């Protein structure tokens, strides 16, 4: 697998983002997927895929606790591109048992309870969405958090047994927003209200000037390099 990833890195080295996507669907027909949370980065990649009619499957994880603005962006995206992005939902029984045993907002009580909530609402549905595919396209960027600064553009995701490609890894926030605004692409209005990173509504707040990009995620926890479990880095 290491050799395959090294070969892929060489083959895409001089390609544009659109050319990379076109190359991947030729190499892995019907086995390339893209996960969108309707954040600014994901809207750029969605545009690359849909505007150029590249056969990459697009899906989203609806945790059931997203911002109203996120759902609106989802609907606006479907309307803008005349598409229907595929949703994946948490297992209803798992949610019911978690809330019954721990409370509706138990994720505030401890890191393990928060991680359990993330697993039920995000990680398990993601595994179902990725099953049977070979390549997972993400919108992760190196400036988003310290543990993403040294990420390779392509890596092997052991937990999901899939090749993971970070298509706009080295784009800056300014480049992302400029691209969206220039093309009139719908994006989450919370980005213009101090939310650079948007997750579930109860777990996300706007950041203050000078704070880390992901300081608004699980802000009540003291640890740094916060992740929900979707993206595990060694």
- The closest alpha carbon to 31, from 202, 161, 140, belongs to 161
Residue 41 forms part of a structural domain = yes
User: Which DSSP category does 120 fall into?
Assistant: I
Kindly indicate the confidence band of residue 155, based on its pLDDT and cuts at 50, 70 and 90.
very high
Residue 9 forms part of a structural domain = no
Kindly indicate the confidence band of residue 9, based on its pLDDT and cuts at 50, 70 and 90.
very high
Kindly indicate the confidence band of residue 224, based on its pLDDT and cuts at 50, 70 and 90.
low
The count of other CB atoms within 10 Å of the CB of residue 52 is 13
Residue 109 forms part of a structural domain = yes
Whole-angstrom Cα distance, residue 198 to residue 194? Answer: 10
Residue 54 forms part of a structural domain = yes
Catalytic residues: 228
- The closest alpha carbon to 101, from 119, 118, 115, 117, belongs to 117
For residue 193, the enclosing domain spans: 32-132+174-203
Residue 191 forms part of a structural domain = yes
Q: Is 28 in contact with 135 (CB distance < 8 Å)?
A: yes
> Phi/psi of residue 185, each to 5°?
-80, 135
Kindly indicate the confidence band of residue 232, based on its pLDDT and cuts at 50, 70 and 90.
low
Residue 142 forms part of a structural domain = no
- Helix and strand numbers (H, E) in the chain are 8, 6
Q: How many domains does the chain have?
A: 1
> b/e map of 195-223 (b: 16 or more CB within 10 Å)?
bbbbbbeebbeebeeeebbbbbbbeeeee
Q: What is the pLDDT of residues 17-45, one digit of tens each?
A: 999 999 999 999 999 999 999 999 999 99
The sign of the torsion formed by the CA atoms of 104, 105, 109, 110 equals positive
The sign of the torsion formed by the CA atoms of 232, 58, 175, 181 equals negative
Residue 79 forms part of a structural domain = yes
* CATH number of 197's domain: 3.40.50.620
User: What is residue 234's predicted lDDT score, i.e. its pLDDT?
Assistant: 44
- The closest alpha carbon to 229, from 129, 102, 126, belongs to 126
Global pTM value: 0.92
Whole-angstrom Cα distance, residue 76 to residue 123? Answer: 26
Residue 162 forms part of a structural domain = no
User: What is residue 146's predicted lDDT score, i.e. its pLDDT?
Assistant: 59
Kindly indicate the confidence band of residue 73, based on its pLDDT and cuts at 50, 70 and 90.
very high
């Amino acid at each position: 697998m290491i050799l395959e990833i090294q070969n892929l890195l060489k083959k895409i080295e001089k390609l544009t983002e659109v050319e990379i996507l076109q190359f991947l669907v030729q190499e892995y027909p019907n086995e390339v997927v893209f996960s969108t949370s309707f954040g600014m980065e994901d809207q750029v990649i969605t545009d690359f895929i849909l505007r150029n009619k590249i056969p990459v499957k697009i899906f989203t994880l609806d945790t059931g606790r997203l911002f109203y603005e996120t759902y609106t962006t989802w609907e606006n995206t479907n309307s803008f591109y005349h598409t229907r992005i595929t949703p994946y939902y948490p297992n209803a029984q798992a949610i019911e048992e978690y809330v019954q045993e721990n409370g509706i907002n138990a994720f505030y009580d401890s890191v393990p309870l928060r991680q359990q909530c993330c697993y039920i609402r995000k990680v398990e549905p993601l595994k179902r969405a990725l099953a049977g595919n070979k390549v997972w396209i993400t919108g992760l960027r190196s400036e988003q958090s310290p543990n993403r600064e040294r990420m390779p553009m392509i890596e092997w995701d052991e937990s999901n047994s899939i090749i993971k490609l970070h298509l706009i890894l080295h784009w800056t926030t300014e480049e992302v927003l400029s691209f969206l605004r220039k093309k009139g692409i719908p994006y989450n209005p919370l980005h213009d209200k101090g939310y650079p990173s948007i997750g579930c509504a109860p777990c996300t707040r706007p950041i203050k000037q000078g704070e880390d990009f992901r300081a608004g995620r699980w802000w009540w926890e003291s640890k740094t390099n916060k992740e929900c479990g979707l993206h595990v880095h060694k």
